[in-house]
C-alpha cells in the first residue's frame, strides 16, 4: 500500500485491502465511487468492526479531501455530519459491495449526545477553599488568559487543592475542541467520557519521560497531549520529576504541540495546555514559614531550586508564594463559587476571541499581535523597564507581563491596559523560583 516506505501498524486498513484485492481479481464488477476511502477491521465472516482511533482516522480522511467514507457501524459515534464528506456506516463487506450497484440503503447509527447541554460535574469547588484570596485571583487570571502558574509553599498549605479546583473555573470546551480531545483519548486508549469539561491530568511522580511526553515503539500520546485544552498539574515538580524530563516540556509549552520521531515514522500530537506546577521552597519545605524553622543551608536551597532550569522558569507566567491559612473569622467567610468565577472567565475569553478573530487566548497569540492590541503609553513602558531592570527579567518575561496585564484588563472589561492591571501583573511575576532566598 502506498506509501510503501511507511510501516502500517493498524488493522484499520483491512477493508480497503479487501476491496482492492476483490476489484483486481474481478469479484467486484461495479465501479467504485471516486474519492472514496474505506476504514475498518475485517472478520473472517465478513463483518466489519471498528478499532481504537477511528475518530482521528476520519479527520485524516477529511484532510485528504475524501468525498465518501465507508466506516464500521458504531453505536456511540460522536459525529453525525462532516461538511464536504459523506459518512457511510456499514456492518459487513457484503453491504459495501452492494452499495457499489446502489442495492444497499445506508442507515445512520444513533449518535452520541456529547454536544448537548453541557453541565458542570466537578468534585471540588472554589467556595470550599478557605482563604487564599490572592491565589484564587491569580488562578482566575490564569483561566481567563491561559497562563501557566507556579506555586510555592510549605507542606499542607493548599497547593494541591487549588490546582484540583482550577478546572472548575475554566470554560466548557467548544465542539471543535471536544472532537480534538476525543481523538487524542481514542488514540491513547484512555477512557474519558466528560468531553465537554477541560481535562485535568496529574501524572504520578514515577511517570517516565515517554509517559509524560509521549512515544514508545508505536508512538502514542503522553500526558501533555491528554491535557490538551485542559490542565497539566505537576506536584512537587523539582523533587519528584527529573530535570531532563522537565526540560522536555519546553518545546510543547512554546509551540502547543509535540513531535515524536522514530526510525519508522514521525508523528505530531497537539499539547496546548495550562501548566500548573507546585514545589516546596526548599528541601525541608519550611523556608519562609511563619510557624517552622528552615534547617536548609543556602547551598542546599540553590541546588534544590536549580533542578528547574531557567527556560522552564521563564515559561511560568504567574508566581504564587503560599502560606498556611489560619482558621479565623476572616478566612471562614463566604467564598465565591466556581460558577460565579467561571462567568467572568468566559466573558474575558470572549473579549479575546472577538479581538483576535479566532479562539486564541492572550497567552498564545503571537507577540506582534499582542503588542499591536496592547500598546502601553510612555509612563507604562517606563514603569515596566524599571521593574525589569531591578528584577533582571528577560524579554520573554516582559512579554508575559504584558500578556497578563492584557488579561487583567479583559477581566475588568477595559479596552486598554490600565496602570492598575500592569501593576498587578508585575507583582504576580515578582517572586519566581530563582528569587527564593533564605
> Helix or strand or coil: residue 264?
coil
Residue 227 pLDDT level (bands cut at 50, 70, 90): very high
What is the structure's pLDDT at 438? 43
Do 290 and 157 lie in one domain? The reply is: yes
Per-residue pLDDT for 69 more than 80? Answer: yes
Contact call for residues 56 and 77 (beta carbons, < 8 A): no
What is the structure's pLDDT at 376? 87
**Of 336, 338, 337, 360, residue with least CA distance to 410:** 360
Do 87 and 174 lie in one domain? The reply is: no
* Long-range own/partner contacts, residues 50-53 (CB < 8 A, 24 or more apart): 50/74, 51/10, 51/11, 51/12, 52/186, 52/187, 52/189, 53/10, 53/12, 53/183, 53/186, 53/187
Do 324 and 418 lie in one domain? The reply is: yes
Across residues 159-185, what is the average pLDDT? 89
**β-strands 41-42, 48-49 pairing:** antiparallel
The torsion angles phi and psi of 83, rounded to 5 degrees, stand at -60, 130
Which residues contact residue 387 at a Cβ distance below 8 angstroms, ignoring those fewer than 6 apart?
393, 401, 426, 430
Task: Please write the tens of the pLDDT for every residue from 385-396.
Answer: 998 888 888 888
Q: Kindly report the CATH number assigned to the domain that includes residue 321.
A: 3.40.50.300
Per-residue pLDDT for 436 more than 50? Answer: no
Dmax (CA) of the chain: 85
What residue has cell string 487549588?
162
What is the structure's pLDDT at 390? 87
* Alpha-carbon gap, residue 95 to 97, rounded angstroms: 6
Per-residue pLDDT for 95 more than 70? Answer: yes
Task: Please write the tens of the pLDDT for every residue from 209-225.
Answer: 888 888 877 788 899 99
Which residues contact residue 55 at a Cβ distance below 8 angstroms, ignoring those fewer than 6 apart?
78, 79, 179, 182, 183, 186
What's the domain count of the chain? 2
In a domain, residue 114? The reply is no
Task: Please write the tens of the pLDDT for every residue from 102-153.
Answer: 887 777 776 655 554 556 677 888 888 888 888 999 999 999 999 999 998 8
> Helix or strand or coil: residue 176?
helix
In a domain, residue 3? The reply is no
Residue 46: which domain range? Answer: 11-100
Integer-rounded Cα Rg, in Å, for the chain is 26
> What cell was used for 198?
477541560
3-state helix, strand, coil split of the chain in percent (to 5) is 40, 15, 45
- Rounded alpha-carbon distances, angstroms, from residue 39 to 53, 65, 219, 264, 379: 11, 15, 20, 22, 61
Do 264 and 179 lie in one domain? The reply is: yes
In a domain, residue 1? The reply is no
What is the structure's pLDDT at 325? 78
Which residues contact residue 230 at a Cβ distance below 8 angstroms, ignoring those fewer than 6 apart?
167, 170, 181, 198, 199, 200, 201, 273, 274
Do 90 and 143 lie in one domain? The reply is: no
In a domain, residue 112? The reply is no
- Which range is least confidently modeled, 9-23, 151-165, 329-343? 329-343
Across residues 346-365, what is the average pLDDT? 92
Tell me the pLDDT of the chain averaged across its residues: 84
Locate all alpha helices (DSSP H) within 208-297, ordered by sequence: 209-213, 223-226, 237-240, 243-247, 250-255
Residue 332 pLDDT level (bands cut at 50, 70, 90): low
Do 84 and 223 lie in one domain? The reply is: no
Task: Please write the tens of the pLDDT for every residue from 260-292.
Answer: 877 667 888 899 999 999 888 888 888 877 778
- Rounded alpha-carbon distances, angstroms, from residue 134 to 319, 385, 401: 11, 25, 17
Do 205 and 165 lie in one domain? The reply is: yes
**Of 319, 265, 267, residue with least CA distance to 436:** 319
In a domain, residue 395? The reply is yes
Across residues 94-100, what is the average pLDDT? 91
* % of the chain exceeding 90 in pLDDT: 29
Do 134 and 69 lie in one domain? The reply is: no
**β-strands 149-152, 274-279 pairing:** parallel
In a domain, residue 161? The reply is yes
What is the structure's pLDDT at 343? 94
Do 221 and 325 lie in one domain? The reply is: yes
Per-residue pLDDT for 39 more than 50? Answer: yes
Q: Kindly report the CATH number assigned to the domain that includes residue 69.
A: 3.30.230.10
Do 87 and 201 lie in one domain? The reply is: no
CA within 13 Å, CB half, 289: 19
Please give the DSSP secondary-structure letter assigned to residue 293: -
What is the structure's pLDDT at 329? 56
* % of the chain exceeding 70 in pLDDT: 90
In a domain, residue 38? The reply is yes
Which uninterrupted H or E stretch holds 259? strand 257-261
Do 427 and 372 lie in one domain? The reply is: yes
> What cell was used for 186?
481514542
Task: Please write the tens of the pLDDT for every residue from 371-387.
Answer: 888 888 889 999 999 98
Task: Please write the tens of the pLDDT for every residue from 403-429.
Answer: 999 999 999 999 889 999 999 999 887
**Of 139, 72, 431, residue with least CA distance to 275:** 139
Do 212 and 310 lie in one domain? The reply is: yes
Amino acid at each position: 500500500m502506498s506509501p510503501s516506505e511507511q510501516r502500517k501498524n493498524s488493522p484499520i486498513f483491512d477493508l480497503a485491502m479487501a476491496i482492492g484485492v476483490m476489484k483486481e481479481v474481478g469479484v467486484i464488477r461495479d465501479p467504485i465511487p471516486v474519492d472514496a476511502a474505506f476504514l475498518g477491521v475485517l472478520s473472517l465472516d465478513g463483518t466489519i468492526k471498528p478499532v481504537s482511533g477511528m475518530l482521528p482516522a476520519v479527520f485524516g480522511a477529511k484532510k485528504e479531501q475524501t468525498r465518501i467514507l465507508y466506516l464500521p457501524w458504531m453505536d456511540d459515534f460522536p459525529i453525525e455530519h462532516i461538511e464536504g464528506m459523506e459518512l457511510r456506516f456499514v456492518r459487513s463487506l457484503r453491504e459495501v459491495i452492494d452499495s457499489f450497484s446502489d442495492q444497499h440503503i445506508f442507515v445512520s447509527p444513533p449518535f452520541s449526545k456529547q454536544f448537548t447541554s453541557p453541565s458542570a460535574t466537578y468534585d471540588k469547588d472554589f467556595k470550599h477553599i478557605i482563604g487564599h484570596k490572592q491565589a484564587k485571583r491569580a488562578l482566575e487570571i490564569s483561566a481567563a488568559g491561559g497562563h501557566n502558574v507556579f506555586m510555592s509553599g510549605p507542606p499542607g498549605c493548599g497547593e494541591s487543592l487549588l490546582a484540583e479546583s482550577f478546572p472548575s473555573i475554566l470554560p466548557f470546551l467548544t465542539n471543535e475542541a471536544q472532537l480534538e480531545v476525543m481523538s487524542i483519548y481514542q488514540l491513547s486508549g484512555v477512557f474519558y467520557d466528560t468531553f465537554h469539561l477541560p481535562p485535568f491530568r496529574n501524572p504520578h511522580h514515577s511517570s517516565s519521560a515517554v509517559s509524560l511526553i509521549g512515544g514508545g515503539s508505536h508512538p502514542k500520546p503522553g500526558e501533555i497531549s491528554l491535557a490538551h485544552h485542559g490542565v497539566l498539574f505537576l506536584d512537587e515538580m523539582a523533587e519528584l520529576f527529573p530535570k531532563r524530563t522537565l526540560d522536555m516540556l519546553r518545546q510543547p509549552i512554546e509551540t502547543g504541540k509535540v513531535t515524536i520521531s522514530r526510525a519508522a515514522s514521525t508523528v505530531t500530537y497537539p499539547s496546548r495546555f495550562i501548566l500548573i506546577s507546585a514545589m516546596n521552597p526548599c528541601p525541608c519545605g519550611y523556608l519562609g514559614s511563619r510557624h517552622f524553622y528552615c534547617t536548609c543551608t543556602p547551598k542546599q536551597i540553590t541546588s534544590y531550586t536549580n533542578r528547574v532550569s531557567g527556560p522552564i522558569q521563564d515559561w511560568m507566567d504567574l508566581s504564587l508564594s503560599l502560606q498556611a491559612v489560619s482558621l479565623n473569622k476572616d478566612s471562614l467567610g463566604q467564598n465565591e463559587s466556581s460558577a460565579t468565577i467561571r462567568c467572568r472567565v468566559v466573558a474575558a475569553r470572549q473579549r479575546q476571541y472577538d479581538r483576535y478573530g479566532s479562539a486564541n487566548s492572550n497567552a498564545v497569540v503571537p507577540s506582534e499581535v499582542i503588542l499591536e492590541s496592547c500598546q502601553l503609553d510612555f509612563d507604562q513602558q517606563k514603569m515596566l523597564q524599571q521593574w525589569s531592570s531591578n528584577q533582571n527579567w528577560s524579554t520573554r518575561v516582559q512579554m508575559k507581563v504584558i500578556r497578563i496585564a492584557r488579561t487583567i484588563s479583559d477581566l475588568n472589561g477595559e479596552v486598554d491596559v490600565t496602570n492598575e492591571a500592569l501593576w498587578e501583573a508585575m507583582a504576580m511575576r515578582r517572586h519566581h523560583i530563582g528569587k527564593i532566598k533564605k
